[in-house]
Amino acid sequence: MSLLSVRDLVVTYATRAGPVRAVDGVNLDVPAGSITGLVGESGCGKSTLGRALMGVLPDAGRIAGGQIMFEGTDIAALSAPARRAIAWRRLSFIPQTAMNALDPVQRLRAQMLEVLIERGGLGKADALARASELFHLVGLDPIRLSDYPHQFSGGMRQRASIALALALEPALVIADEPVTALDVIVQRQVLDVMRNLQARLGLAMILVTHDIAVVAYACDRVAVMYAGRIVESGPVADVLENPLHPYTMGLTHAFPDLYGDDMTLVPIDGTPPSLLHPPAGCRFAARCPFVQPRCAEEPPVTDGDHHAACWRIDEAAELRALAAIPATWMPK
Amino acid sequence: MSSLTFILFRLAPGDPTINFLSPSFNEETRAALMKSFGLDKPLWEQYFIYMGNLLQGNLGQSFLQGKPVAVLLADALPNTVLLTLVSLTAAYAFGIVAGAFLAFHRGGLVEAVSIPAALATRAAPEFWLGMLLLAGLAFQTGWFPTGGALSPGREMNSFAERFMSGDFWWHLALPALTLMLYLQGLPLLLMRATMLEVLNDEFIVMAKMKGLSRWSVVMRHAARNALLPVVTAFALGLGASIGGNVVVETVFAWPGIGRVLVTAVQSADYPLAQGAFILIAASLVTMNTLADLAYAALDPRVSVGAKR
């Protein structure tokens, strides 16, 4: 039984032109004690999905359907006070840009104590001790608790954000592009901190990213998102080595290989469809080199731990061979 | 600044002796007066005498009233400072609360009514507002006095006694209200705008994610950050109002710096007018400095000097 189980989740944004279905029928399972990568290009709805899970969609956004089962309850259906009661205590968040995510006019100590005291119910002395312990845990000197966020480097801010996220020992942490703004050396340090703590504390994590390399490095499982839907998911090794969906095949060729093999990067031609009027059937059809007439209808989702939504799953091995040839992805 | 005021007043038309002389006075009397004011000397000499005195803290003697300028200004300054402080504090207290409130109730009927109202009072000329209030609350109903700082015949021995007296505050009410109505638009709109901006900041979203109470989100995080520019505006407003009260002080015959300035200019009382201008300029500069210092105290990203 999964810790988090999202079923047919739909999130819409109200716009002048009508509702935009940023997340459109997402199914996602996150087992306890593992890191699940949520990967996709800009605008595919991955950050919106993360916000919906945290219950803080912008004013224009709302959950228009589906369930978010977390520890046995549908948290999408909870009243605001009940939702607030589990916020941060059971599931917390590591933001994309740690600069703005920390209050610029308050010391880190105040921001840690606020969470530990107001949400954790600790006394001041205990909270102070815990704040030092947390800083220690993420590799920051507790002396720096008396600093303001602007006195931290990007990597340090990200570590402080991790300390904040872990403060109340949640069961699930959602990290939205936690290393995107950092250089690769610091990226790796921060990912190591996250992975070590995740393993040590046995918590589950959703790592939202656009970077396949981050997924390959840090995640146990991966879900590939495209135009508001999850097109493929499964264990990282399976999905990246033997992708079933043509979009995942394209993605793996659009990033440099982690192990430095010489290879040509091949872009996927075209842009994702408008989510205002998404096409019927497979959403990747317009960009897919293997498109067939039946792709105009909704593709079936295969069963099993590694599954994908594609009409040509049975031919996946041949398609992978074709996808490895750059000419396949050339615009027609 | 002091050179500029010196030149400006000398350039302006007007004869300082006009106020003393009835047409029947002859040319000799006028010359004697000019000589006693030092106005018979060449302009450059007048300038050097003036600057020399100024450097020693001597603002000179008023032509018209025969008293030292410093004494006249010291009499008027507390009135202006009190009027300014009371109205500015009231305006900012109201503006901050109302602005924050409006930021939260965006797009509603409340906003549709109150934003134009705030803008209208901000755009309306002070003297017109003052005259309306005078007509309504003083002349028609008689609830408030029509002008001055004390009722006729009342004498106070000390400043303390004067400012503690109900009579003084009763006289202060209408000019302060006028000024407050005029001043509240800026903090209101500023607070609303910065609040709206801050509410979209990532750390506010984070505060909500943390499940913090609405009070914590709004007061500890949003308002604290949104207040920064408003505090600056307050200090600048304080400096500007010391000189900018001219209109309100004139309408309500309030014996402050603004009125001293107006009468001095009207009667070509150079030393008094120059003194008033220098005082106004000095308070502006002081308040600018205070605003910068206050900003450094409130926003840790701004620090004074190399202190860490």
The residues with which A23 forms a beta bridge, in sequence order, are A11
What residues of B are in contact with residue A96 (Cβ under 8 Å)?
A: 202
The token pair that represents A140 in the structure block? 């920051």
A291-296, long-range: CB < 8 A, 24+ apart? none
Angle at CA of residue B236, ends B260 and B255, nearest 5° = 20
Q: How many CB atoms lie within 10 A of CB B223?
A: 19
Q: How many CB atoms lie within 10 A of CB A246?
A: 30
Where chain B has pLDDT below 50, the residues are: 306-308
Q: Which residues contact B282 (CB under 8 A, 6 or more apart)?
A: none
Phi first, then psi, for residue A15 (nearest 5°) are -130, 170
What residues of A are in contact with residue B228 (Cβ under 8 Å)?
A: 105
Phi first, then psi, for residue A206 (nearest 5°) are -110, 120
What pLDDT, on a 0 to 100 scale, did the predictor assign at position B152? 61
Residues of chain A that touch chain B, judged by Cβ-Cβ distance less than 8 Å: 54-56, 84-89, 92-93, 95-97, 100-107, 114-115, 118-119, 148, 150
Say if residue A98's pLDDT is above 70. no
d(CA B161, CA B177) in angstroms, rounded, equals 23
Please list the alpha-helical segments (H only) found in chain B: 2-11, 27-37, 43-55, 69-104, 109-123, 126-133, 159-164, 166-183, 185-199, 202-209, 214-215, 224-244, 246-251, 257-266, 270-298
What residues of A are in contact with residue B211 (Cβ under 8 Å)?
A: 84-89, 119
Residue type, B159: F
Which residue of chain B has the CA closest to A81?
Answer: B211
Residues B287-307: tens digit of each pLDDT: 888 888 877 777 777 765 544
Say yes or no: ipTM exceeds 0.85: yes
How many A-B residue pairs are in contact by the CB < 8 A criterion? 67
Q: Which residues contact A12 (CB under 8 A, 6 or more apart)?
A: A19, A20, A21, A22, A61, A62, A64
Of the residues A79, A103, A108, the best mutation for testing chain B's interface (the one with the most B CB atoms within 10 Å of its CB) is A103
B253 conformational bin, left if phi > 0, alpha if psi -120 to 50, beta if neither: left
Of the candidates A84, A97, A118, which has its C-beta nearest B202's C-beta? Answer: A97
Of the candidates A87, A107, A150, which has its C-beta nearest B210's C-beta? Answer: A87
The token pair that represents A216 in the structure block? 């390959």
Residues B295, B231: contact at Cβ < 8 Å? yes
HEC profile of chain A: CCCEEEEEEEEEEEECCEEEEEEEEEEEEECCCCEEEEECCCCCCHHHHHHHHHCCCCCCEEEEEEEEEECCEECCCCCHHHHHHHECCCEEEECCCHHHHCCCCCCHHHHHHHHHHHHCCCCHHHHHHHHHHHHHHCCCCHHHHHCCHHHCCHHHHHHHHHHHHHCCCCCEEEEECCCCCCCHHHHHHHHHHHHHHHHHHCCEEEEEECCHHHHHHHCCEEEEEECCEEEEEEEHHHHHHCCCCHHHHHHHHHCCCCCCCCCCCCCCCCCCCCCCCCCCCCCCHHHCCCCCHHHHCCCCECCCCCEEECCCHHHHHHHHHHHCCHHHHCCC
d(CA A84, CA A202) in angstroms, rounded, equals 23
Angle at CA of residue A105, ends A99 and A107, nearest 5° = 85
Residues of chain B that touch chain A, judged by Cβ-Cβ distance less than 8 Å: 201-203, 205-213, 216, 220-221, 224-225, 228, 298-301
Phi first, then psi, for residue A269 (nearest 5°) are -70, 150
Verdict on whether the full-model pTM lies above 0.80 = no
Phi first, then psi, for residue B113 (nearest 5°) are -90, -45
The token pair that represents B308 in the structure block? 């860490």
d(CA B53, CA B246) in angstroms, rounded, equals 27
The residues with which A15 forms a beta bridge, in sequence order, are A18
B43 against A148, higher pLDDT: A148
Q: What is the rounded average pLDDT of the residues A114-127? A: 93
Residues A53-92: tens digit of each pLDDT: 999 998 889 999 999 999 999 999 999 899 999 999 999 9
3-state secondary structure of B61: strand
Residues A83, A71: contact at Cβ < 8 Å? no
What pLDDT, on a 0 to 100 scale, did the predictor assign at position B183? 85
Which residue of chain B has the CA closest to A59?
Answer: B200
Residues A121-143: tens digit of each pLDDT: 999 999 999 999 999 999 999 99
3-state secondary structure of B57: coil
Of the candidates A54, A100, A148, which has its C-beta nearest B209's C-beta? Answer: A54
Of the candidates A88, A102, A118, which has its C-beta nearest B209's C-beta? Answer: A88
The residues with which A13 forms a beta bridge, in sequence order, are A20, A61
Of the residues B206, B231, B299, the best mutation for testing chain A's interface (the one with the most A CB atoms within 10 Å of its CB) is B206
Confidence class for position A35, pLDDT limits 50, 70, 90: very high
